[in-house]
């Protein structure tokens, strides 16, 4: 009986030891999983939870999209380590002061910043956002600072990367002084209106929020491309230069090659009479001979250039439609 009691006691002791080992292993695994989750956490949504302060344990350095709207937050300094943020939504809080330029200079990937419906008063404090290098969209409406004289002018000329402020895309008239523009390109024109207020869904996710960020940026870029005279002029000049370079290379190619279709021999004089090819005066260059005599470039190039551009809009030659 005594021996059986000893054996039972040993079994119970070893069983408790195994339970302790299993529990310790489970705790280690849970800690590892938490650390992995913290490392891979890209999206944080604390919308409308009536938060007063931000705790460092709730904020992770790997955050890409952070939604903290409709709370009672007054200090956002714990977000300093979130240097990979793309979108930061802090609207409808009780923020009075923004951090200094060192805070915003570290957020090199931040593009969308929503700060409307807060308690900002000092315009100089809001100008610290000029240190944010890639900020595209900013909202500050329904804040006391918007009542300051020249509020929009100061912010537009302080944050160089900014494309939209509140509900209107920044016009060239606001950036370039003393440049009279038509009404279409004027400030606060209806063509420059863009609603970028964030939309909230019950079942949101990181992928959906990232899609929304890309959609907003694409919508802003589209408005800028069609309503900015500087961008329109740049597009025209760039297109003209590329077409000119392409035409020059094509004319050089004509001087060294003959008109050929793979597997076919073409009688060029007959095709010219049928008006299926441009009528060049000197057809001896294109005749199918074994010895090709290349004419002088100074004589041939003006003729080719003049005749190609004169037929640039013909429907018989869809591969030669150049607008020069």
Measure the CA–CA gap between 121 and 275, rounded to whole angstroms. Answer: 74
Residue (of 112, 63, 55, 56) closest to 83 by Cα position: 63
Q: pTM for the full model? A: 0.65
Residue where the block lists tokens 């907003």: 216
Positive or negative, the Cα torsion across 223, 225, 226, 227?
A: positive
Per-residue pLDDT of the chain (324 residues; tens, 9 = 90+): 545 554 444 444 444 454 445 455 554 444 344 443 444 588 988 888 888 888 876 788 889 999 999 999 999 988 988 899 999 999 999 999 999 999 999 999 999 999 999 999 999 999 999 999 999 999 999 999 999 999 999 999 999 999 999 999 999 999 988 888 888 899 999 999 999 988 877 678 899 999 999 999 999 999 999 999 999 999 999 888 888 777 777 667 666 655 554 555 555 455 545 544 444 444 444 444 444 444 444 444 444 444 443 333 333 433 333 333
Measure the CA–CA gap between 138 and 104, rounded to whole angstroms. Answer: 13
Across-strand partners of 227? none
CB 145 within 8 A of CB 117: no
Structure confidence by residue, pLDDT tens digits, 53-76: 888 767 888 899 999 999 999 999
Measure the CA–CA gap between 312 and 314, rounded to whole angstroms. Answer: 6
Measure the CA–CA gap between 283 and 209, rounded to whole angstroms. Answer: 63
Structure confidence by residue, pLDDT tens digits, 25-57: 554 444 344 443 444 588 988 888 888 888 876
Give exposure, 158-171, as e/b (b: 16+ Cβ within 10 Å).
ebeebbbbbebbbb
């Amino acid at each position: 009986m005594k021996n059986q009691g000893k054996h039972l006691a040993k079994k119970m002791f070893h069983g408790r030891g195994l339970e302790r080992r299993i529990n310790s292993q489970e705790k280690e695994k849970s800690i590892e999983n938490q650390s992995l989750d913290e490392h891979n956490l890209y999206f944080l949504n604390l919308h409308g939870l009536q938060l007063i302060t931000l705790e460092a344990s709730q904020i992770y350095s790997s955050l890409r999209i952070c939604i903290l709207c409709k709370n009672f937050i007054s200090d956002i300094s714990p977000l300093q380590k979130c240097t990979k943020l793309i979108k930061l939504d802090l609207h409808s809080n009780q923020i009075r002061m923004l951090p200094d330029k060192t805070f915003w200079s570290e957020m090199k990937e931040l593009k969308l910043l929503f700060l409307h419906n807060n308690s900002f008063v000092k315009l100089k404090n809001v100008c610290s956002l000029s240190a944010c290098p890639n900020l595209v969209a900013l909202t500050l409406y329904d804040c006391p600072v918007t009542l300051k004289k020249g509020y929009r002018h100061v912010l537009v000329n302080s944050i160089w990367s900014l494309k939209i402020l509140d509900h209107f895309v920044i016009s060239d008239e606001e950036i370039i002084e003393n440049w009279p523009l038509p009404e279409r390109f004027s400030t606060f024109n209806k063509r420059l209106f863009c609603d970028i207020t964030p939309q909230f869904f019950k079942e949101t996710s990181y992928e959906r929020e990232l899609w929304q960020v890309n959609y907003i940026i694409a919508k802003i870029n589209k408005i800028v491309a069609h309503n900015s005279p500087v961008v329109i002029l740049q597009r025209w000049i760039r297109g003209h230069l590329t077409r000119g370079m392409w035409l020059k290379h094509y004319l050089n190619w004509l001087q060294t090659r003959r008109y050929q279709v793979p597997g076919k021999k073409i009688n060029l004089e007959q095709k010219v009479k049928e008006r299926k090819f441009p009528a060049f005066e000197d057809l001896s260059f294109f005749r199918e001979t074994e010895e090709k005599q290349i004419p002088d470039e100074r004589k041939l190039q003006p003729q080719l250039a003049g005749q190609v551009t004169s037929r640039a809009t013909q429907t018989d030659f869809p591969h030669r439609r150049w607008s020069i």
